[in-house]
Structure 1
Amino acid sequence: MQRDDMQAGVIDTSRPHPARIYDYLLGGKNNYDVDRQAGEDLIAVAPEARDGVRANRAFMERAVRFAVGQGVRQVLDIGTGLPTSPNVHEIAEAVARESVHVAYVDNDPIVKAHGDALLSRTGSTGIVLGDVRDPGSITGHPDVRRLIDFDEPVVLLLVAVLHFLTDADEPERVAAELRDALPAGSYLVLSHATGDFADRRNAEAGYSSKASASLNLRAKDRVERFFAGFEMVDPGLAQISYWRPDSPPPADAARIGFYGGVGRKI
């Protein structure tokens, strides 16, 4: 999720960070000038970028409601980003009508600082610093283990995170190792940026040259590989606006370059 010259736990505000760019595009205030400029540069070459991150957020909310609605009461959210209400634990608990254990993971210490402040009054949620490229360090982290019982089903969120891994980072390996840590009956909620619906090579190159993580757009068949070992929930892998929408998607939803899907581990 981060470049090799960066480490989780080191605050670097000299370069845009994906979590803070995302926050800016969502309309948040937890970002810096470099993040805002990177967001505007992205919009210049991909005008749907702001709509895309908002649609991605809405997809996440629908997918969490679905998975928790199946009776799962544990969520592992990797690449959580800066807190934006409703947060995952708020969405989950509104469905469950009871406490849901949620472990948030991100590589940005600014995200962790905000998360610590937000979650300081609850014993059923927590946030840790972690690198998605090393799944074992996440699933074996004592603070994650305090919240998540890997003998019981888990909702694993990989929402807009694997596209920050290059092929050299072996994203299929990362997804497989995380899958193998989950028991049967767990759910994977995943979204991923794509260039299938428009030529976004300029956006990909521009983002990667400036931000602290590269953007790696992938076609549908590549994204589907991340669901190996999972049975896809209808409607399968789809553009995020068309995955079980709460209302008819807007007319221009087809331009949004994100796939999203939910799978159940078998």
Structure 2
Amino acid sequence: MGDTLRAPDSATGVIMDVSNEWTLPGVDSTKPSVARVHDALLGGTENFAVDRAIANRLKEAVPELGRLTWCNRAFIGRVVDFLVREAGIRQIIDLGAGLPTIENTHEVAQFAAPETRVVYVDIDPMVEPHARMLLRENTRAVAITEDARNVDVILGHPLVTRHLDFSQPVAVLMIGLLHLFPDQDNPWGLVRDYMDAMPSGSYLAASNMFAAPNPRAKALEAMLHATMGTGFFRSREAITRYFDGLDLVDPGVVAFPEWHPDEKVSAPLESWEQILLGGVARKP
């Protein structure tokens, strides 16, 4: 146990005692984390009171946010399944992977092709130890703690270079990541840096929150900035720019439910279903 900590109650904002929360060394349980807030929205247990407080405030702004979070998980699953089964990819880097949950990238990929190798990367120091526990008997998946913006550090990391063969195609997943970076951080340049380092035949899967004239989107953007200081919604054109120089897979950049759906999508989409846009593209 650490020292006594205090955090705001998720419903009332009243300060509450969270001294019984166990933390990993180097983890500040008084400061929210994107990965842990996401875990709280999924109903997970690897989060702290401050993360749950923010998750509840976000759900006040967009009551369907829990459904949107699961929609995001389903999109990742369909993308990974496509990359392995249809595109023949056997190596994946999952950037901003978040805390392990159900149907993780390696589980979906290795169900389709057991030999697929996966590298998880996240800046949150809680992700790597939890992933190591999950992967302790899996020799084809590893996790490292690093900022996704440190491209050279990640691609040169000993675990990564031992695990992946960069002479062969690699799929780079940047789903739920790029909207964390403001324009001045040049997320488009970040995408290019990764894809420039990948061989021909590699794939990019990327997404961003969509700056649509949508009251749900506007409410979520305002609350994300108020609580987390992040969440940069972008136009469809700006999101499509991530795929410049690559060959977009049909149906292009679309709302998550519209990308290779398992069942026919009812139209029109609900407003919350239009908040996230994503796509997949191949490097020529």
Distance 1:123 1:32, change over 3 A: same
In the superposition, relative to structure 1, how do residues 252 and 19 fare at CA in structure 2: closer, same or farther (>3 Å)? farther
Paired-residue identity, %:
36
> Highest CA radius of gyration, 1 or 2?
2
Per the TM alignment, residue 197 of structure 1 is displaced from its structure 2 partner at its CA by 5.1
Compare 235-244 and 199-208 and name the one that shifted more. 199-208
Question: Post-superposition shift, 1:261?
Answer: 0.6
Distance 1:208 1:113 in 2: 29
Q: What CA distance in whole angstroms lies between the structure 2 residues aligned with 1:76 and 1:207?
A: 26
Alpha-carbon distance change, 88 to 161 in structure 1, aligned in 2, over 3 angstroms: same
Alignment counterpart, residue 96 of structure 2, candidates 55, 67, 79 = 79
SS in structure 2 of the partner of residue 105 of structure 1:
strand
For 2:277, the equivalent position in structure 1 comes to 259
The 5 Å alignment of 1:241-256 reads 241-249=257-265, 253-255=269-271, 256=273
1:181 paired with 2:202, answer: no
Structure-to-structure mapping, 1:148-227, within 5 angstroms: 148-196=164-212, 198-199=214-215, 200-211=217-228, 214-227=230-243
Equivalent residue number for residue 17 of structure 1: 33
What stretches of structure 1 of length at least 5 have no aligned partner?
Answer: 1-8
Note the C-alpha offset of 1:95: 1.1
TM-score normalised by structure 2 residue count: 0.86
Greater mean deviation of Cα atoms: 28-37 or 151-160: 28-37
CA–CA distance in structure 1, aligned partners of residues 213 and 62 of structure 2: 11
Change beyond 3 A, Cα 1:234–1:184: same
Matching of residue 133 in structure 1 with residue 165 in structure 2: no
Which whole-Å CA distance do the structure 2 matches of 1:197 and 1:89 have between them? 36
1:75: Cα distance to partner? 0.6
Q: Distance in 2 between matches of 1:12 and 1:54?
A: 27
How far does the alpha carbon of each residue in 1:168-207 deviate from its partner, in whole angstroms, 9 at most, with x for none? 2110111110111111111111121113151334432322
> 1-side partners of 2:26 and 2:210: how far apart?
29
Gaps of 5+ in 2: 1-24
Show the counterpart of 2:108. 91
Deviation at 1:251, TM superposition (A): 6.1
* 1:131/1:87 CA distance change after superposition, 3 Å: same
* TM-score after normalising by structure 1: 0.91
Alignment of 1:115-130 (within 5 A): 115-130=131-146
For these two proteins, the number of residue pairs brought into alignment is 256
Quote the offset at 1:116 in angstroms: 1.3
CA gap of 1:117–1:141, structure 2 versus 1, over 3 A, is same
Q: Which has the higher contact order (CA 8 A, sep 6+)?
A: 1
Question: Relative to structure 1, is the Cα distance of residues 46 and 252 closer, same or farther in structure 2, using a 3 angstrom cutoff?
Answer: farther
